[in-house]
């Protein structure tokens, strides 16, 4: 289809070459994509987007030095496009050229001061340089500019955890979850932090809170059963058995509340069967 369009519309060679290159890139045929980006550039050498797209493709191929050259050519043709500075900065990070990367993130921020991604990416670079306090400031800048981006809260929580500021980290995981309760990774990270703090009773509450969002996730149910087994060494046998009884009854109640003909029903029933076997093993551990 692209070839036919090119033949019929010679005045738009560059556009169609670029579109074909983009499609080839999406199906991971990178070498062919590069060839068609070259065709586009030869056809319309002043279009900055073709250089930027070729740079993105080279970056996908881990050909970072070449990618930098084409980002620079894109910048030369359109110095007001902040995305080129940001993507060049990201590529510099892949080469561990962090100081240069910070400079290009600053350029991107100056051009697009309301784009929260640039602040978050600069914060991530500062983390890689162990400049944690500065990184926290830029995560705050990102959150200020986009208070609805849950990733900014989660990334700040990750950093606070790395700095052993656990209580504050929990607060930011909670904020990330409040904004996007469907993201499993946030629950997992908070779960790991609670276990690191030996607050195992709260781990179970965490799983209960997220259960409604992951009824169709068998692995998530298995993880909860695993956590119950771990808690054996943190509670008395009597308390552990009580927790098990309550948790298993809750699972059955959740199962009974969903449509028996739905896909979730079949998946959740399999999860209960698998979890029940783990509970049986756990009861034996308690008994002996």
Distances (CA, A) of 241 to 138, 198, 209, 234, 257: 46, 19, 21, 12, 24
Mean pLDDT of the chain: 80
Is residue 151 very low, low, confident or very high in pLDDT (cuts 50, 70, 90)?
very high
Summarize the confidence of residues 84-108 as an average pLDDT. 98
Q: Residue 204: pLDDT above 70?
A: no
Least confident of 18-22, 100-104, 111-115, 244-248: 244-248
Tokens in use for 65?
Answer: 């030095």
pLDDT average, residue stretch 223-251: 51
Geometric angle at alpha carbon 86, from 80 and 92, rounded to 5°: 130
* Residues 211-227: tens digit of each pLDDT: 555 555 555 555 555 55
The predicted-structure confidence for 97-131, as pLDDT tens digits, reads as follows 999 999 999 999 999 999 999 999 999 999 999 99
Question: If you write DSSP's letter for every residue of 178-205 in order, what string do you get?
Answer: HH-TT-HHHHHHHHHHHHHTT-HHHHHH
Report domain extents, the chain.
1-113, 215-288
Q: Is the pLDDT of residue 23 over 70?
A: yes
Q: What is the pTM of this model?
A: 0.72
Residue-wise burial string across 150-173, b where 16 or more C-beta atoms lie within 10 A, e elsewhere: bbbbbbbbbbbbeeebbeebbebb
Class of domain 1-113: mainly alpha
At residue 129, the pLDDT reads 98
Residues 167-188: what's their mean pLDDT?
A: 93
């Amino acid at each position: 289809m692209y070839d036919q369009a090119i033949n019929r519309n010679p005045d738009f060679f560059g556009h169609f070459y670029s579109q074909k290159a983009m499609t080839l890139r999406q199906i991971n045929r990178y070498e062919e994509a590069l060839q068609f980006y070259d065709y586009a550039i030869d056809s319309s050498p002043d279009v900055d987007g073709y250089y930027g797209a070729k740079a993105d493709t080279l970056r996908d191929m881990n050909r970072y030095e070449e990618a930098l050259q084409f980002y620079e050519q894109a910048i030369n043709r359109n110095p007001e496009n902040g995305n080129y500075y940001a993507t060049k900065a990201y590529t510099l990070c892949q080469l561990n050229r962090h100081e240069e990367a910070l400079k290009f993130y600053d350029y991107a921020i100056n051009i697009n001061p309301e784009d929260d991604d640039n602040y978050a990416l600069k914060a991530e670079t500062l983390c890689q340089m162990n400049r944690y306090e500065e990184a926290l400031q830029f995560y705050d800048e990102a959150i200020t500019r986009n208070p609805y981006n849950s990733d900014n809260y989660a990334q700040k929580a990750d950093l606070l955890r790395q700095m052993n500021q656990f209580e504050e980290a929990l607060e930011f995981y909670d904020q990330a979850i409040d904004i996007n309760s469907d993201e499993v990774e946030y629950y997992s990270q908070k779960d790991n932090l609670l276990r690191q703090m030996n607050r195992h009773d709260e781990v179970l509450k965490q799983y209960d809170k997220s259960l409604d969002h992951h009824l169709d996730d068998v692995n998530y149910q298995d993880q909860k059963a695993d956590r119950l087994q771990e808690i054996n060494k943190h509670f008395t046998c009597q308390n552990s058995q009580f927790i098990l009884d309550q948790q298993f009854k809750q699972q059955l109640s959740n199962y009974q509340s969903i449509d028996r003909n739905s896909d979730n029903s079949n998946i959740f029933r399999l999860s209960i069967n698998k979890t029940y076997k783990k509970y049986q093993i756990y009861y034996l551990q308690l008994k002996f």
